[in-house]
């Protein structure tokens, strides 16, 4: 690698990779999203790519070499990008309709690259200099990236030996409360912040407050200090639903329903290491069970049966609270029924078979029209009530989700440290060794499936009550993927990780409007990147971190 600096193949290489990424972003229509800011954003993207790619070079080579490579990377990347965008602009300017094939290559998207008016592109009125602009933008980004790489290297070598001073710990602990305070202050009608949307910012702050709270718990010293922080944080969390408005509460409600579900999946995947891709099945069982119990009239077959038994069909069979144990039992039975056939399967096979189960359940929901009313769904589910009060509004659903999360998190926390929890970890690490040590594999695995399913079932019930009407499409494969992604991003086997993951993956997209279209691509890329960079997640459990890093120590030797 040292001898190759003369001809700088690394700069060209980085330029090609950068071009690949920029071309991809253009094809999925990202520049158009940013409008006038697009050149700036694209320059930043280039800078980040180049800085990441040259991070290692900055350690080994003098700044001049790094800058030269950055310049070459920027030039290669810029020339190719400008050529690609130029071709699109020329096509559009000559009235060729690209869109039937390349969906996002529209005049606004291409014009964003030039910082030019849309009509200029559509009518082919771009000047010669305009065609150079993407090149200059990317070139500047590349050079900035080189400078950034050097700066990062300098900063890293300066702070390497310094330990964080004591006050940072207190700052971390104080941060969630400061953020909560900001939520309250911004909630006052008198406070305004320019033209920005106050509601979105408050929602973002509330989510950041919860996330910061998780880190504050980590930062606090175990013992009395940690308990005090925990109690203060719980008080803050309990107050949160009363600080937020309808929309904000609705978002937080769905986030915490996913936390409930994620905690269940965390038991199956995180603790017991059984990769279940059909987890949505249990969520769906919970939701449909509650639907049958609370709106029997919308299921043709079920209402017929009830009528045959002489029971009334026009009102809920059981209230929300009475339905909880029934849903739990049904979901647990579902977990055992789906878990039994796959007891002998491991890892990848388990993943595919459970994925199949998830699809089968969805196909049944769609096609068993007599029972589930097919794609028309089950309608008019009863909201939860308490002493005659309707708890169906977003704030109360959020409170219920918080309560459910608290109960489930407590159970999961205690289970993790119980005999069963240790057995789960044992089968995750080495099934054969665990069996040799006397772990009853059948019982322990079924326990994991049943308990995980129970949690998902309750989450599904709450979800159904929140939605009022449920359809098979609510329970697609993507619910499983979402749940899996959130526990992976948060940190498998870590309860605070699940909360952080749900906020990152379910909450933040609600704040960042316009990202919705890119949500799945973003998730998917995040899954791959997480696995490569930080497979233990953002807030890993201690044990998991040690496991994954024990193996990772050996890996870089081969990779480099």
Partner 1 sequence: MRERGWVRALQSRIVSQSLVVASDVQRRAQTMRWVARAIALLIVVAVVARAVAVSLTEGYPLTFWASQLVNGLVLGGVYALVALGYTLVYGILLMINFAHGEVMMIGGVAGFFALQLAQALGWMSGPAGLVALALLAVMGVGMIGAMLTGVTLERIAYRPLRNAPRLVPLISAIGASLFLQYSVLLIFGVSPLVYQRPALISGGFRIGPVFIPYTGLIIFLTSLALMGALFVIVQRTRLGRAMRAVAADRDAAALMGVDVNQIITFTFLLGSALAGAAGVMLGFHNSVIKFNSGFIPGLKAFTAAVMGGIGNIPGAMVGALVLGIAESIGPSALGIPAEYKDIIAFVLLVLVLIFRPQGLLGEALAEKKV
Asked if 236 and 180 count as a contact pair (C-beta separation under 8 A), the reply is yes
Between residues 256 and 523, which has the closer beta carbon with respect to partner 1?
523
Between residues 128 and 554, which has the closer beta carbon with respect to partner 1?
554
Asked if 86 and 46 count as a contact pair (C-beta separation under 8 A), the reply is no
Cβ atoms within 10 A of the Cβ of 109, count? Answer: 27
Residue 87 interacts with partner 1 (CB under 8 A): yes or no: no
- Window contacting partner 1 (CB under 8 A); options: 21-29, 209-217, 239-247, 405-413: 21-29
Spatial distance between the Cα atoms of 81 and 394, rounded to a whole number of angstroms = 47
Per-residue b or e along 361-392, where b marks 16 or more CB atoms closer than 10 Å to that residue's CB = bbeebeeeeebbbeeebbeebbebeeeeeeeb
Between residues 182 and 526, which has the closer beta carbon with respect to partner 1?
526
Phi/psi of residue 172, each to 5°?
-60, -40
Residue 481 interacts with partner 1 (CB under 8 A): yes or no: yes
* 3-state SS, residue 470: strand
- Window contacting partner 1 (CB under 8 A); options: 22-30, 170-178, 376-384, 456-464: 22-30
Phi/psi of residue 389, each to 5°?
-85, 135
Residue 367 interacts with partner 1 (CB under 8 A): yes or no: yes
In the Cβ-directed half-sphere of 121, how many Cα atoms lie within 13 Å?
25
Residue 555 interacts with partner 1 (CB under 8 A): yes or no: yes
| Ranges of H-type helices in 188-245 | 198-219, 224-243
Spatial distance between the Cα atoms of 139 and 75, rounded to a whole number of angstroms = 5
- Window contacting partner 1 (CB under 8 A); options: 109-117, 325-333, 347-355, 396-404: 347-355
The length of the chain, given as a count of residues: 560
- Window contacting partner 1 (CB under 8 A); options: 245-253, 256-264, 419-427, 520-528: 520-528
Q: Pattern 425-454, binding to partner 1, x per CB under 8 A?
A: -------x----------------------
Residue 547 interacts with partner 1 (CB under 8 A): yes or no: yes
> Of residues 292, 357, 424, 449, which one binds partner 1 by CB under 8 A?
357
> Of residues 181, 234, 307, 528, which one binds partner 1 by CB under 8 A?
528
Asked if 152 and 53 count as a contact pair (C-beta separation under 8 A), the reply is no
> Of residues 36, 37, 103, 181, which one binds partner 1 by CB under 8 A?
103
- Window contacting partner 1 (CB under 8 A); options: 209-217, 220-228, 281-289, 353-361: 353-361
Between residues 15 and 394, which has the closer beta carbon with respect to partner 1?
15
Minimal distance, residue 227 CB to partner 1, in Å: 34
> Of residues 41, 70, 139, 275, which one binds partner 1 by CB under 8 A?
275
Asked if 500 and 211 count as a contact pair (C-beta separation under 8 A), the reply is yes
Asked if 188 and 248 count as a contact pair (C-beta separation under 8 A), the reply is no
Between residues 104 and 153, which has the closer beta carbon with respect to partner 1?
104
In the Cβ-directed half-sphere of 98, how many Cα atoms lie within 13 Å?
19
> Of residues 9, 127, 356, 375, which one binds partner 1 by CB under 8 A?
356
* Three-state DSSP string of 372-440: HCHHHCECCCCCCEECCEECCCHHHHHHHHHHHHHHHHHHHHHHHCCHHHHHHHHHHHCHHHHHHCCCC
Biggest CA–CA distance in the chain, Å, is 89
* Total interface residues for partner 1 by CB under 8 A: 57
> Of residues 360, 433, 437, 442, which one binds partner 1 by CB under 8 A?
360
Between residues 17 and 147, which has the closer beta carbon with respect to partner 1?
17
First to last CA, the chain: 11
> Of residues 12, 136, 446, 527, which one binds partner 1 by CB under 8 A?
527
> Of residues 87, 517, 542, 546, which one binds partner 1 by CB under 8 A?
517
- Window contacting partner 1 (CB under 8 A); options: 66-74, 327-335, 451-459, 531-539: 531-539
Between residues 204 and 342, which has the closer beta carbon with respect to partner 1?
342
Residues in the site for partner 1, rule: CB under 8 A? 24, 27-29, 99-104, 273, 275, 277, 341-342, 344-349, 351-353, 355-357, 359-360, 363, 366-367, 432, 481, 484, 488, 517-518, 520-521, 523-528, 531-532, 535, 547-548, 551-552, 554-555, 558-559
């Amino acid at each position: 690698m040292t001898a190759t600096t003369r001809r700088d193949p690394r700069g060209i290489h980085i330029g090609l990779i950068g071009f690949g990424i920029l071309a991809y972003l253009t094809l999925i229509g990202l520049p158009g999203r940013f409008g006038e800011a697009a050149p700036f954003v694209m320059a930043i993207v280039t800078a980040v790519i180049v800085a990441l790619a040259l991070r290692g070079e900055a350690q080994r080579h003098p700044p001049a070499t790094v800058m030269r490579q950055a310049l070459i990377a920027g030039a290669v990347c810029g020339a190719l990008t400008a050529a690609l965008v130029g071709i699109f602009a020329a096509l559009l300017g000559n009235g060729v309709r690209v869109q039937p094939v390349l969906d996002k290559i529209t005049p606004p998207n291409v014009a964003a690259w030039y910082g030019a008016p849309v009509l200029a592109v559509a009518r082919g009125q771009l000047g010669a200099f305009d065609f150079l602009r993407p090149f200059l933008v990317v070139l500047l980004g590349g050079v900035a990236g080189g400078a950034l790489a050097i700066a990062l290297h300098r900063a890293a070598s300066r702070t390497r030996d310094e330990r964080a001073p004591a006050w940072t710990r207190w700052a971390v602990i104080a941060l969630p409360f400061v953020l909560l305070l900001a939520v309250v202050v911004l909630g006052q009608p008198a406070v305004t912040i320019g033209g920005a949307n106050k509601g979105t910012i408050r929602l973002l702050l509330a989510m950041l407050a919860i996330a910061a709270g998780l880190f504050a718990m980590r930062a606090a010293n175990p013992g009395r200090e940690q308990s005090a922080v925990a109690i203060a944080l719980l008080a803050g969390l309990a107050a949160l639903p009363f600080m937020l408005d309808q929309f904000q509460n609705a978002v937080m409600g769905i986030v915490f329903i996913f936390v409930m579900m994620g905690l269940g999946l965390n038991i199956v995947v995180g603790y017991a290491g059984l990769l279940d891709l059909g987890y949505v099945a249990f969520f769906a069982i919970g939701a449909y069970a509650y639907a049958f119990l609370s709106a029997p009239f919308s299921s043709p077959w079920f209402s017929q049966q009830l009528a045959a038994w002489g029971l009334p069909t026009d009102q809920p069979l059981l209230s929300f609270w009475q339905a909880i144990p029934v849903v739990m039992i049904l979901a647990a039975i579902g977990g055992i029924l789906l878990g039994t056939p796959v007891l002998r399967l491991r890892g990848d096979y388990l993943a595919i078979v459970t994925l199949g189960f998830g699809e089968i359940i969805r196909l049944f929901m769609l096609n068993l029209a007599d029972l589930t009313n097919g794609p028309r769904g089950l309608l008019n589910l009863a909201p939860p009530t308490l002493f005659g009060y309707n708890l169906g509004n977003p704030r109360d659903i959020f409170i219920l989700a918080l309560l459910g999360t608290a109960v489930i998190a407590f159970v999961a926390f205690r289970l993790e440290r119980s005999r069963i929890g240790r057995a789960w970890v044992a089968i995750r690490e080495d099934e054969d060794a665990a069996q040799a040590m006397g772990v009853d594999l059948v019982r322990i695995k079924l326990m994991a499936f049943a308990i995980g399913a129970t949690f998902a079932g309750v989450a599904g019930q709450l979800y159904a009550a929140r939605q009022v009407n449920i359809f098979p499409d609510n329970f697609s494969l993507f619910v499983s993927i979402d749940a899996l992604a959130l526990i992976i991003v948060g940190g498998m086997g870590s309860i605070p990780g699940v909360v952080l993951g749900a906020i990152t993956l379910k909450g933040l997209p609600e704040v960042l409007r316009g990202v919705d279209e890119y949500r799945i691509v973003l998730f998917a890329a995040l899954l791959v990147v997480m696995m490569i960079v930080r497979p233990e997640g953002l807030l890993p459990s201690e044990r998991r971190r040690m496991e994954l890093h024990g193996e990772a120590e050996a890996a870089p030797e081969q990779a480099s």
